[in-house]
Amino acid sequence: MSSRLLYSGVLTALLLTAGSAIAQAPALPNGYAPWELDLLDSYIPYKTTSGITSPPELPVRASAEWEEIDALLVTWTGYTNTIREIVRYAQEECEVYILCADTNTVKTSLESASIPLDNITLVEGGFNSVWARDYGQWNVYANDVDSLYLIDWIYNRPRPLDDAVPELMSQLTGLPIYTTTEVPYDLVHTGGNFMTDGWGTGFSSRLVLDENDGNDYSLEPKTEGEIDYIMDAFMGISTYIKMETLPYDQIHHIDMHMKLLDEETILVGEYPEGEADGPQIEANIEYIQDNYTSIFGTPYKFERILMPPDEAGNFPDDGSWWNPGDYRTYTNFVFINKTVIVPAYEEQYDTTAYRILSDLLPGYRIVMIDCNEIIQALGAIHCVTKEVATNEPLLITHQPLQDTEELFADYEVDAWILHRDGIAEAEIFYTTDTAAGFWNTSPMTLADVASNTWTGFIPAQEDGAEVFYYIYAQATTGKEQVRPITAPDGFWHFRVGGAISNLEESHDDLIAVWPNPVDDHVSIDLRDLRSADKWQLSLTEPSGKEVYAATAFGGQVIHLPLALLPSGTYWISLRSGDACMARQIVKR
């Protein structure tokens, strides 16, 4: 599709008349500009002109970020070098809406950078800032996979043009929009402080409680129960997890230090022991582990990725109060179908982050874009992008199989597979040799109509085999989908034979670590441990000083970033009751 130029009708005319000068103002930070703080007591939020102010009548499901999308929104104002590079790769995956003040300027910039104008829609309209994640629209489906609706909250900044953008996107896409702008459903929120697993569990910091306490925007205060009700009614969030805010994250948005990778895996940023927000991040992890389980009823899996210092070697708690270290983060990335766009800062840290994400997100094209300028305004890639979900989802949800000792019985594969017009067929593709280029298939059948559960079987394999697999489905309309969405380049895998379910003494040989010696990050393979019991993982110096501690579970591979540690010898150990394991590593 060639580039298109769209004007957004009456709404855009209103916005341009009211705020074209604001749209041209210097780039606003992701946090408050100093003069905005004085507006909070008297600011009257933007009121919708065409949105629906009552909740959807049908049950809704807010989509997860790794699901298929049709379009991506960015705003062309400030940090245009970063925005331009996002557009370069995003337009290869979906339609890109570029909200801008002057289309000719954008076209000239894209063409000068050899970026094709395919799949690009230029929209002349009003805006205040670049932070589309925070003020942009949310996506929900009626009855899980039926009609697509957009959802709009009251933006938590006194920026009326930004706050009107979701309604503008409703006009452009033709999708109905529901807004939390009227009593009793008025809710202040921000996109960078919300994530969902796609099945009714939401995550935020407790900032959402502070912003609805009635102290700002002249709104009536909301209790936590009232906030939960609004999120459930408008977005289908039945379990709403709220974590303590971080001391050094000035905006308290969770996308600055965490990212849901799938329904049960959470990537979190990691600092050196005791540094910056590290202690509170670990406390929040423990809070989730102690109080919540994934949609599958099992503990969440936590993976870690480094939070690097700035060029001066400072973290956010270093430097002076008026000039702290930059809040560099790699979790602030965006899924765009089969591409992941990630912030980049310095090669020595970027290389480590790239390797970790490559391990955790097999098959994805991982693109890294320099964010040294924009991160100083307290945001990065995720903060300036917002998705429009696909209008015809074919949803596949599956909990990957764990390593097994079973050598004779077939391996059952269950998945929730949904499409609004029904599923025509589903299959498991599996192999024990991905290099061979050939995948065996096994049919799946609808085993439970009520839960849309499809079941199939991978034949029993010999001892020592590693099985790779993915799921394929086709709707009655002919639409096809796979999960992982990157299959066959991306897949799940499990090993057969030799799994350990219980330990009563030291078994040092059961910890597989690589590489060793290590330069920047070490991988710890716990897939031989099938027990769901918690293991205490620690990294210690020869003196016994602990430099890292976390809770781990069997059946996963843990990736620890070590680039910030000095060279030397360290011990990795795991303990659970009387069971203990340890392995020595050398950091070069």
The three-state secondary structure class of 586 is strand
Q: Which domains does the chain have, with CATH numbers?
A: 4-389 (3.75.10.10), 395-495 (2.60.40.10), 508-587 (2.60.40.3080)
Residues 6 or more apart whose Cβ sits within 8 Å of residue 325:
276, 309, 310, 312, 314, 315, 316, 317, 318, 319
- Token pair of 283 as six digits: 């406390």
pLDDT value at position 45?
Answer: 87
For position 323, what pLDDT does the model report?
Answer: 76
Helix (H) or strand (E) holding 472: strand 466-475
Strand partners, 474: 425, 480
Q: What is the pLDDT of residue 509?
A: 52
pLDDT of residue 19: 38
Give the integer Cα–Cα distance in Å for 244 and 252: 9
**Residue 585 carries which DSSP code?**
E
Distance CA 220, CA 183 (A): 9
pLDDT of residue 563: 79
Q: Is 207 exposed, middle or buried (0-12, 13-18, 19+ CB in 10 A)?
A: buried
Report the alpha-carbon distance of residue 148 to residue 390 in Å, rounded: 8
CB 349, CB 306: distance < 8 Å: yes
Query: Distance between CA atoms of 147 and 141, rounded to whole angstroms?
Result: 6
Write out pLDDT tens, residues 314-346: 999 987 667 789 999 999 999 999 999 999 999
- For residues 516 and 537, give the distance between their C-alpha atoms in angstroms, rounded to a whole number: 18
SS3 call for 37: helix
Return the H-helix or E-strand segment holding 359. Answer: helix 347-360
CA distance 398 to 484: 9
| CA dist., res. 182 & res. 54, Å (int) | 8
Element (H, E) at 166: helix 165-173
Alpha carbon distance 433, 428 (integer Å) = 15
580 φ, ψ (degrees, to nearest 5): -150, 150
Sign of CA dihedral 77, 79, 83, 88: positive
For the chain, the residue count is: 588
Residues 6+ apart with CB under 8 A from 544: none
Residue 18: its pLDDT value, please? 37
Please give the Cα distance from 583 to 558 (Å, whole number). Answer: 14
Structure-token pair, residue 554: 């069997």
- Determine the straight-line distance between the first and last CA of the chain, rounded to whole angstroms: 50
Q: What share of the chain is helix, strand, coil (3-state, %, to 5)?
A: 20, 35, 45
- pLDDT at position 20: 39
pLDDT lower than 50: segments of the chain: 1, 7-25, 499-508
Check: CB of residue 365 under 8 Å from CB of residue 93.
Answer: no
- Reduce the DSSP state of residue 161 to 3 states and report it: helix
Q: Are 192 and 384 in contact (CB under 8 A)?
A: no
- 174 vs 96, 142, 295, 479, CA distance in Å? 16, 16, 32, 22
Q: What are phi and psi of 75, to 5 degrees?
A: -120, 130
Residues 301/400, Cβ–Cβ less than 8 Å: no
Structure tokens at 533: 């019991």
| Alpha carbon distances (Å) from 500 to 354, 393, 459, 504 | 31, 39, 22, 11
Contact 257, 303 (CB under 8 A): no
Three-class SS of residue 348?
Answer: helix
The Cα–Cα gap between 546 and 336 comes to: 39
Cβ distance 501 to 576 under 8 Å? Answer: no
> What does 417-452 look like in DSSP terms, one character per residue?
EE-TT-EEEEEEEEES-GGG---EEEEEEEEETTTT
DSSP code per residue over 360-424 = HSTTPEEEEEE-TTGGGGT--TGGG-EEEE-SS--EEE-PPPPPB--SSSPEEEEEEEE-TT-EE
Where are any strands of DSSP class E within 192-264?
Answer: 195-196, 201-205, 239-243, 258-260
**Which one-letter DSSP state was computed for residue 268?**
E
Cα–Cα distance between 287 and 283 in angstroms, integer? 6
Which residues sit opposite 395 in a β-bridge?
A: 418
Is-contact 153 189, C-beta < 8 A? Answer: yes
Q: Are 405 and 528 in contact (CB under 8 A)?
A: no
DSSP letter for 118, please. T
What distance in Å separates the CA atoms of residue 162 and residue 386, rounded to the nearest whole number?
A: 13
